[in-house]
């Protein structure tokens, strides 16, 4: 396994296939370890992880905090409503306050693209050692969600060896509001890196055809793509034509808070054209799993019956699995960042 080279984790575009393998392998070990109560792992003892969420979150924030605690870190949380931000403090000064309190890791979510990157650059410029983990920035990137989706799919296809190879040649259909989705963008980098062929599907107003070329050029800011042989990306506007042959379907929330104009006429029509239900999934030609990053608009992106079809062995809907996997994936990220100067091999060896 290669050396872990990512000081900050800002965008999966920078990840090589070996990086995905390191995160998935470590997460798989954490997943099967008893890490609650007195049996917490000591890896981050004495370290402080601060979650700075300038946008709402249910899953990401709490699972980062649980992940940090399971590795014995101290945790501090920031919420804009009850902070000095409302008294006019700048975002950078807010971040510096947590650095001054000794934060080793800042997990940052913001409604504007590239805020985590700007914070990382500002902290580096002033010689701080604190690392930044992107908890979701605008439409741009949501690395930990992309990784937990990848793990969930790899685990579904190969429960004993949930590694990037499990995705090779799989056809993964992503349906919905692609335009406003940082999750779709992170999944595009992750899934194609592991050799999956991604089909994007949604109404033309929420899925510009230029998305077909999303991973064609080297990732932004890099002259060479760290993955030389990615899977393909295709665009479709008709769900019933895109379903046959799919090995898994991921559906995305309609991000009304990010829609500046009226991009959809009505939700009933959207559900009729792009909503998932059991009968429609029959078109895949075999039982396929359904994923959604949450929060779900019940009855819009999928029927309530499909959302509730979560039985551990026969259920179609992997939404709860995704939530469960969020913790070991985030443990792996925190662990690797803390061990950034040593090798991923050493990190794995120390977990046993
Ligand atoms: N929770 C995901 C995100 O923060 C997806 C969503 O909000 O629809 O991007």
Task: Express each pLDDT in 44-61 by its tens digit.
Answer: 999 999 999 999 898 999
pLDDT of 1 above 60:
no
Q: What pLDDT band is residue 173 in, cutting at 50, 70 and 90? A: very high
Q: What pLDDT band is residue 221 in, cutting at 50, 70 and 90? A: confident
The rounded percent of the chain whose pLDDT value lies above 90 is 78
CA distances from 13 to 81, 108, 141 (A): 32, 18, 9
Q: Which conformational region is residue 72 in: left (phi greater than 0), alpha (psi within -120 to 50 degrees), or beta?
A: left
Pocket of ligand 1 (CB under 6 A): 136, 142, 182-183, 253, 255, 293-294
* pLDDT tens track for 71-94: 999 999 988 776 676 666 788 999
Residue with more model confidence, 6 or 313: 6
Mean pLDDT of 193-220: 95
At residue 232, the pLDDT reads 98
Q: What pLDDT band is residue 196 in, cutting at 50, 70 and 90? A: very high
Range of weakest confidence among 23-32, 41-50, 107-116, 253-262:
253-262
Separation CA 238–CA 328 (nearest Å): 36
Contact predicate 158/187, CB 8 Å: no
Contact predicate 179/153, CB 8 Å: no
Query: What's the gap between Cα 125 and its chain centre?
Result: 28
- Look up residue 346 and give its two tokens: 């050493």
Query: What's the gap between Cα 46 and its chain centre?
Result: 27
Give 3-state DSSP helix, strand, coil % of the chain, rounded to 5.
Answer: 45, 15, 40
At residue 256, the pLDDT reads 76
Q: What pLDDT band is residue 119 in, cutting at 50, 70 and 90? A: very high
At residue 350, the pLDDT reads 62
At residue 340, the pLDDT reads 64
Residue 204: burial class (beta carbons within 10 Å; 0-12, 13-18, 19+): exposed
Average pLDDT of every residue of the chain: 91
Walk across the sheet containing 233-236 and list its strands: 233-236, 197-201, 171-175, 248-251, 290-291
Q: Give the side-chain half-sphere CA count within 13 A for 29.
A: 16
At residue 341, the pLDDT reads 45
63-73 burial, b if ≥16 CB within 10 A, otherwise e?
bbbbbbbbbeb
At residue 2, the pLDDT reads 60
Range of weakest confidence among 154-163, 214-223, 291-300, 301-310:
214-223
* Centroid of ligand 1 to alpha carbon of 56 (angstroms): 9
* pLDDT tens track for 10-19: 999 999 999 9
Atom of ligand 1 nearest to the CA of 58: 1
State the angle between helix axes of 91-100 and 115-125 in degrees (0 to 180), rounded to the nearest 10.
50
Residue 169: burial class (beta carbons within 10 Å; 0-12, 13-18, 19+): exposed
Q: What pLDDT band is residue 342 in, cutting at 50, 70 and 90? A: very low
* Centroid of ligand 1 to alpha carbon of 294 (angstroms): 6
* Centroid of ligand 1 to alpha carbon of 255 (angstroms): 8
* Centroid of ligand 1 to alpha carbon of 295 (angstroms): 7
Mean pLDDT of 287-298: 95
pLDDT of 36 above 80:
no
pLDDT of 210 above 90:
yes
Which domains does the chain carry? Answer: 12-141+324-348 (3.40.50.1370), 143-320 (3.40.50.1370)
Q: What pLDDT band is residue 260 in, cutting at 50, 70 and 90? A: low
Atom of ligand 1 nearest to the CA of 255: 8
The rounded percent of the chain whose pLDDT value lies above 70 is 90
Separation CA 250–CA 252 (nearest Å): 7
Separation CA 60–CA 228 (nearest Å): 30
The residue contributing the CA closest to ligand 1 atom 4 is 136
* Centroid of ligand 1 to alpha carbon of 183 (angstroms): 7
Atom of ligand 1 nearest to the CA of 253: 8
* Centroid of ligand 1 to alpha carbon of 300 (angstroms): 15
At residue 335, the pLDDT reads 95
């Amino acid at each position: 396994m290669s050396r872990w080279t990512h000081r900050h984790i800002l965008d999966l575009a920078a990840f090589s296939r070996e990086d995905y393998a390191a995160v998935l392998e470590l997460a798989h070990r954490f997943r099967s370890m008893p890490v609650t109560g007195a049996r917490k792992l000591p890896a981050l003892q004495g370290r402080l992880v601060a979650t700075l969420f300038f946008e709402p979150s249910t899953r990401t924030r709490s699972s980062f905090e649980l992940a940090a605690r399971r590795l014995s870190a101290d945790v501090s949380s920031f919420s804009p409503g009850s902070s000095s931000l409302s008294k006019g403090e700048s975002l950078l000064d807010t971040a510096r306050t947590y650095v001054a309190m000794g934060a080793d890791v800042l997990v940052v979510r913001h409604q504007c693209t590239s805020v985590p990157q700007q914070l990382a650059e500002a902290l580096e410029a002033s010689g701080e050692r604190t690392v930044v983990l992107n908890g979701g920035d605008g439409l741009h990137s949501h690395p930990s969600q992309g990784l937990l989706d990848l793990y969930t799919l790899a685990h579904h296809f190969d429960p004993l060896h949930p590694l990037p190879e499990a995705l090779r040649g799989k056809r993964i259909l992503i349906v919905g509001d692609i335009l406003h989705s940082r999750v779709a963008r992170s999944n595009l980098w992750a899934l194609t890196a592991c050799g999956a062929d991604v089909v994007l599907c949604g109404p033309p107003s929420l899925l510009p055809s230029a998305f077909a070329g999303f991973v064609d050029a080297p990732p932004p800011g890099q002259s060479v793509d760290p993955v030389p042989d990615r899977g393909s990306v295709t665009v479709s506007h008709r769900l019933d034509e895109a379903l046959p042959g799919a090995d898994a379907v991921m559906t995305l929330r309609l991000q009304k808070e990010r829609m500046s104009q009226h991009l959809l006429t009505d939700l009933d029509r959207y559900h009729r054209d792009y909503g998932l239900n059991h009968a429609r999934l029959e078109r895949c030609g075999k039982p396929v799993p359904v994923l959604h990053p949450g929060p779900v608009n019940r009855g819009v992106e999928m029927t309530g019956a499909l959302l509730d079809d979560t039985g551990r062995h026969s259920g179609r809907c992997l939404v709860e699995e995704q939530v469960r996997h969020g913790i070991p994936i985030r443990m792996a990220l925190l662990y690797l960042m803390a061990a950034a100067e040593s090798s991923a091999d050493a990190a794995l060896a120390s977990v046993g």
